[in-house]
Amino acid sequence: MKEQVKRRSKRRKNRAAEAGIAAVLSAVVVIGGIYAFAGSESARRRGKVPSLVMEYAQPEIDLSGLNSRAGILVRLSDGQVIARQRQDEKIFPASLTKIMTCIIALETIDDLEAEISMPEDIFPPLYADNASMAGVLPGEHVKIMDLLYGIILPSGGECSAAAAEYAAGSQEAFVKLMNEKAQELGMDNTHFENVTGLHDENHYTTVSDLAVLLEYALRNDTFEQIFSSKEHFVSPTDGHPEGLMLKSSMFVLEQDWTVGRGEIRGGKTGYTDQSGLCLATEAMLGNEKYIAVTAGAEGNHSTEPYHVLDAFYLYDQVENLWQVTKDE
């Protein structure tokens, strides 16, 4: 898998160079104007969201080789949208939903070291829907902080459901908090129906809205720590006497995550049959932080990781542009 990813990344970098990175591209790349990344104008007028207004970049990023149907790339220091494609098109977020689940839990639960017993009734529906699981057992006593790692790293549905019920009393009440936060952030094209991202026709968003969410969540130091972790060890419990290792569903790939002067620091994967392969990542390139969100790539867990290839495809071009500018 590692060699496959490397070969594909090199082929696509060469293709981008041949096409001419600075060429004028199709309308999927922004050419001018101002983009209110952190939320809608109505949300900012309500005073609920800091105004992070982003100026569009010049058309220097080539999206012609993107596997994903929709994508957005943002530089966080000044909020500049470097590239976007179908950024406002309706998508199904799959487990990228859990970014919202995790940040709401962080903001709602006071004691992250509190220990809870995993509710047994949350498991049968998750098993029936073939939800991704972290490996925590019914009735097992687990700390909230461990559940939060379980939500993001292995994308544990049981961790999401348990944290939601502890935080809000029920999953339904927690989903209400998720939708309220989406409105607060100006995510006007988003609606949540559950805490896991399992498919529902009324559970949808856009890559633009997800970028808003990820930028917001990364302001929370604990979230960023979780999001950028490759693995997390859960100390011995009554269900796992030897402890439990939680591994990131992205970093589990045998891949060199360096990109030029930096690296891809964190990420959250997502997949359902309806959503395709989805990915939200954070990268540090030189002294700049970037985020990228892509959705709708063909493939599944058994194919090449096209969503990961897309992340490298975008970040590699940022590095190529820096090199060209440096050498001029």
Among candidate residues 155, 125, 177, the one with its CA nearest the CA of residue 275: 155
Domain count, the chain: 2
Q: What is the separation, in whole angstroms, between the first and last Cα of the chain?
A: 37
Q: Please tell me whether residues 22 and 41 are part of one structural domain.
A: yes
Same domain, 162 and 76: no
289 marked as binding residue:
no
- List, edge to edge, every strand of the sheet that includes 288-297: 80-85, 70-75, 288-297, 276-285, 262-272, 258-259
DSSP annotation of 236 reads P
Closest CA to 293 of 103, 131, 88, 105: 88
Catalytic residue among 9, 40, 68, 98: 98
pTM of the shown model: 0.86
Nearest CA to 150 out of 272, 245, 271, 282 is that of: 245
Is residue 98 annotated as part of the catalytic site, yes or no?
Answer: yes
Of 243, 326, 248, 250, the closest CA to residue 294 belongs to: 250
Active-site residue identified among 9, 40, 132, 155: 155
Does 231 lie in the same domain as 126? yes
Q: What is the pLDDT of residues 8-31, one digit of tens each?
A: 444 454 444 444 433 333 333 332
- Structural domain includes residue 304: yes
Residue 295 sits in the same domain as residue 205: no
Find out whether 210 and 93 touch, Cβ atoms under 8 Å.
yes
Q: What is the pLDDT along the chain (328 residues), one digit of tens a residue?
A: 444 454 444 445 444 444 443 333 333 333 233 343 544 444 433 444 443 444 555 547 889 999 999 999 999 998 889 999 999 999 999 999 999 999 999 999 999 999 999 999 999 999 999 999 999 999 999 999 999 999 999 999 999 999 999 999 999 999 999 999 999 999 999 999 999 999 999 999 999 999 999 999 999 999 999 999 999 999 999 999 999 999 999 999 988 999 988 999 999 999 999 999 999 999 999 999 999 999 999 999 899 999 999 999 999 999 887 765 555 5
Answer yes or no: are the C-beta atoms of 85 and 63 closer than 8 Å. Answer: yes
Full domain range(s) for residue 154: 94-247
Do 82 and 99 lie in a common domain? no
Angle of helix 306-327 relative to helix 2-19, nearest 10 degrees, comes to 50
Q: What percent of the chain has a predicted confidence (pLDDT) above 90?
A: 74
CATH number of the domain enclosing 193: 3.40.710.10
Residue 252 lies in a domain: no
48 and 138 in one domain?
no
Looking at the fold, whether 133 and 79 belong to one and the same domain comes out as no
